[in-house]
A and B are shown apart, each in its own frame.
Chain A
């Protein structure tokens, strides 16, 4: 076989491999959308518009703005952006509180015994049940919603940080001690990195919790946000608009998770490598 033929063959097999992996990854999703489109058209129900109609309506709702604003419509700034900021704000607050508190509790046996049952009790409170309380305490503005999101999503971060910092390999701590690392260095250079995989797992769970809590909080006493839009559309019988909001939420959750995984890959590359190695050997 000539070199060109070999090259062609290699390129073809490479393309086939890429196609195969694409089908494996996204095939099911595409099939579901096609089936949905077909079934919705066939049924013709106003409650279940086909995806193509939802997509078209979504473009009108959010991408009909002036070119100077990247075609983003007012609704993006009135609803989508506030929702996004609430999610990120509440989640960031949860991280900022959960990680330091978790390290403190995880590294102190007595403190952990002292607070454990209380934490388990508080954690059992469903976040949405506190909305009435938070409305009384904090009003109906974003502060209330961000606080609710933070309260509801702090638990996975806090508990994972406690668990992660408590279960650091004693040999790593012995090593740090044998080489006379000062206390802060043991915490910063050994305990925290060792706990990071668990902390990140907690952060990821709490990110999706934050999205859920954002929507729930916007269903109550609200005047803006994606959750508010969905409910408003339902009351006004704008069912396609309602579906647009739901699809947008799914897209938002998916994107946030994807971005977080990219971030995790950068920070915890060593963990995947080390774990892969142990599994392989």
Chain B
């Protein structure tokens, strides 16, 4: 079939240099012996890539992401980040959660939230201030540093969460359904922001989403998971040209084809 992972793996876009920063081998996780969420999930992510993970609901996307972040110890398999096995949260990794409202600390200002992880890095106060200002500028929120998160709209709060991750200067940015709780227009803006951030900082991004359009639009590659116990159903390279455009790209035949293929895979109960 044309979406068979190995068959479609063409040379990806030239941005990433081909070295895998993240490798996942035979990842297995079960909350209870009966409730196996993922079994034998294997894939890798190259430096500078944007990879989306999609799949039917309940297929363990968030579990997988938490395992990648070192926040959850999987029951089997190995995850390597920059060649080292992940045990606990590795250095050089940042995370953006879906619930920005709960992940930003309400007692700290925007500046305080962005600064907090930096205080415990070995950087000078000047460098810290510079990074906060720069990351706020990158998400177009300069001048909002003294506000509290709850004084901002949902989209702005999620931009603060992205700025916090950027200021941390991660090698790998994990995003768990980052735009699921914002309105459509904000969502489109945030998608373009993520693409711009990758181009500017060369960060590797792994993003979990339930929105197939979003996965195709944003990614260099989409990893499709099966129903639980989930495995990798297919890996689909998205070689749409960049920069992409919310209207033009989404109208391209190539975009529609990929979207349709992924949608069918998720919809049809295919045995992993």
Contact = CB atoms under 8 A, between A and B. Distances in A.
A175 B161 CA distance: 10
B71 A174 contact: yes
Contact of B150 (A174, A182, A277): A277
Interface string B131-174: 00000000000000000101100000000000010001000000
A188 B270 CA distance: 49
Contact of B120 (A172, A180, A274): A180
Interface in A232-281: 270-271, 273-274, 277-278
B99 interface: yes
B103 interface: yes
A273 B71 contact: no
A273 B94 CA distance: 28
Given A177-B71, A181-B120, A185-B120, A169 B102 contact: yes
Contacts of B89: 177-178, 180
B226 to A, nearest CB: 26
Contacts of A175: 95, 97, 103, 105
Interface in A43-58: none
Contacts of A182: 120
B52 to A, nearest CB: 20
A169 B100 CA distance: 13
Interface in B82-124: 89, 91, 93-95, 97, 99, 102-103, 105-108, 116-117, 119-120
A277 to B, nearest CB: 4
B255 to A, nearest CB: 32
Contacts of A172: 102-103, 105
Contacts of B106: 270-271, 274
A270 B93 contact: no
B107 A271 contact: yes
B69 interface: yes
A22 interface: no
Contacts of B119: 185
Contacts of A178: 69, 71, 89, 93-95
Per DSSP, are chain A's interface residues mostly helix, strand or loop, or mixed? helix
B167 to A, nearest CB: 10
Nearest to B109: A270
Interface string A152-189: 00000000000000000101101101111110010001
B102 A179 contact: no
Interface in A172-225: 172, 174-175, 177-182, 185, 189-190, 193-194, 196
Nearest to B72: A174
A179 B88 CA distance: 11
Contacts of A196: 107
Contacts of A274: 106, 148, 150
A180 B117 contact: yes
Nearest to B168: A179
Contact of B117 (A171, A174, A179): A179
A270 B148 CA distance: 8
Nearest to B95: A178
B176 to A, nearest CB: 10
26 contacts: A171-B102, A171-B103, A172-B102, A172-B103, A174-B66, A174-B97, A175-B103, A178-B71, A178-B93, A179-B116, A179-B117, A179-B164, A180-B120, A181-B117, A185-B119, A189-B105, A189-B116, A190-B105, A194-B105, A196-B107, A270-B150, A271-B107, A273-B151, A274-B148, A277-B151, A278-B150
Interface of B: 66, 69, 71, 89, 91, 93-95, 97, 99, 102-103, 105-108, 116-117, 119-120, 148, 150-151, 164, 168
Given A179-B94, A179-B117, 9 more contacts: A171-B102, A174-B71, A177-B89, A178-B69, A180-B91, A180-B117, A185-B116, A189-B105, A273-B150
Ordered nearest first, which 8 A-B pairs have the shortest CB separation?
A179-B117, A274-B106, A178-B95, A274-B150, A193-B107, A277-B150, A171-B102, A270-B107
